[in-house]
Each structure stands twice: as structure tokens, then as C-alpha cells.
Amino acid sequence: MFSKIPFLQPQRLIIIHSNGIKNFKPPPNFDHIDFPEKPKLRFLDKVPILPPNVKPPKMQKKLKLMRGPEEVHNTLLHKQYGIIALGGGRLKWGHFEMIRLTIGRKMDANRMFAIWRVDAPWQPITKKGQGQRMGGGKGGIDHYATPVKAGRVIIELGGKCEFKEVKDFLHDVAMKLPFKAMAVSQEILDKQKEQERWEEENNQNPYTMKYIIQNNLGGCYRWLSPTDMKYFCKYV
């Protein structure tokens, strides 16, 4: 026996066309924007330049340079667009070149500009050769890097353009960085701050992470690190 399939009636497409005066928003005004002398990102040195009679110094790891929030370079100077770090990490020279080449190729230099908001690689990272024994002193300098904290603005991009024009290639660059990052505009940053303020004022749950850590609920002091006690597990 074959099951009966109900006959499907073709649906009629009704198009309603309304005539009248259209109200479109005026285009944004970019007369207040000041362009720098060089619109593209400048080339950064792979190795810091030292005097000829100075031996390149070595450093400790200093993980504190990547932990916690960025307290200085966390706002957009030109109040337009940029890439902001969501976590800590190190930028190598290859990441700087990837950012410079990608943005220089995708942006329109006639009406856009981009500037660096991070320093060139300056922190020496040491490494021992393959198969060496333990001991023997600190290894030689392998490369240089730039430590970045959460909330640090990596680059800024502005000019006579809207966010929808630059969002795609800024997002592509942010996804290739060695830490979590995102493409932002000034409106996005303002909304995030307003959302954080609203959540803090309207929170009805008294058991926040700050309350739990400060009161040692469940004996959490046994497995929390000093960084967790300082930032209340907000920055990993």
C-alpha cells in the first residue's frame, strides 16, 4: 500500500508596493578628522637598536607584563575603529608584519589611515638549542616580543569611512593574533561599558566572584592563585 501524500497548494506571492516620500538618513560628516602625514602603518624593527658598545641584555619572563587589565592604552584616541586585545599575550615581529601588510593592502590610503598603539618588539625571549643538557647558564636570545595586556589597543584605523567598510579585514587580522582580540568601534566600546555598568547595578545575585573569593567560600583559597585573588578570576 502506498501512503497518500496530500496535495500541496501553490502559495501565492503577494507583493505590496507603497509609494510615497522616502526618508533616508544623511551621510556621516568626516570634516573634523585630521589625517597624519603617513596614512599607512610604518615598518617596525625586528631587533631593538642598541649602541655599538652595549651587549644585548637578557630578561626574565616577567609574566606580570601580560597579566591583568591594561590601564593606560585602553581607549581609542581618534574615536573611530581599531583592534583591541581581549587577553594577555606576546606579539612577535611576524605578527607586526602580518598586521602591516594586511591592513596596508586592504585599506584605501586616499581616505583612511592607520596607526600603531603598541611598541616595536623590545622584550628579549631566550631559548636553548635542541638537545642541550640542563644547566650551563641562561640561553641565548632567540627573538624579541612585545607583551600585551587585556584591553590594550593594538592598532587604530580611521578616516572618511564607516565601520562596515573596515570591519571584515580588521576581524581577519584579529583572528590571526596569538591571543583573543576583536575589531571594535567607539560605539561598541561605549555599549560594552554601559552594559557592564548596568549589569553591576542590577545584579540580584549576591554571590559574585568577588564575594566568594573575599569570604573564602568552599575553601577556594586552597586552589586560587595570587592573580585570581587580585583580579577575581576576570583575567586569566
pLDDT, tens digit (0-9, with 9 covering 90-100), for 110-148: 999 999 999 999 999 999 989 998 898 999 999 999 999
State the first-to-last Cα distance of the chain, in angstroms, to the nearest integer. Answer: 64
| Neighbouring residues of 156: CB distance < 8 A, sequence distance ≥ 6 | 76, 77, 78, 80, 81, 82, 114, 115, 117
Residue with cell 584591553: 151
Q: Report the alpha-carbon distance of residue 164 to residue 81 in Å, rounded.
A: 10
Task: Give 34's pLDDT tier (boundaries 50, 70, 90).
Answer: confident
28-32: long-range pairs with CB below 8 Å, 24+: 28/162, 30/159, 30/160
What was the pLDDT predicted at 18? 61
Extended strands (E) in 117-206: 123-127, 140-148, 153-159, 181-185
CATH 3.90.1170.10 residue ranges of the chain are 30-127+138-185
Q: Give the residue from 153, 125, 152 showing the smallest Cα distance to 138.
A: 125
Predicted confidence (pLDDT) per residue in 146-189, tens digit: 999 999 999 999 999 999 999 999 999 999 999 999 999 999 99
Q: What is the mean pLDDT of the chain?
A: 90
Helical spans, DSSP H, in 72-162:
93-106
Q: 30-127+138-185 belongs to which CATH class?
A: alpha beta
pTM metric for this prediction: 0.84
The residue among 26, 70, 23, 53 whose CA lies nearest residue 181 is: 70
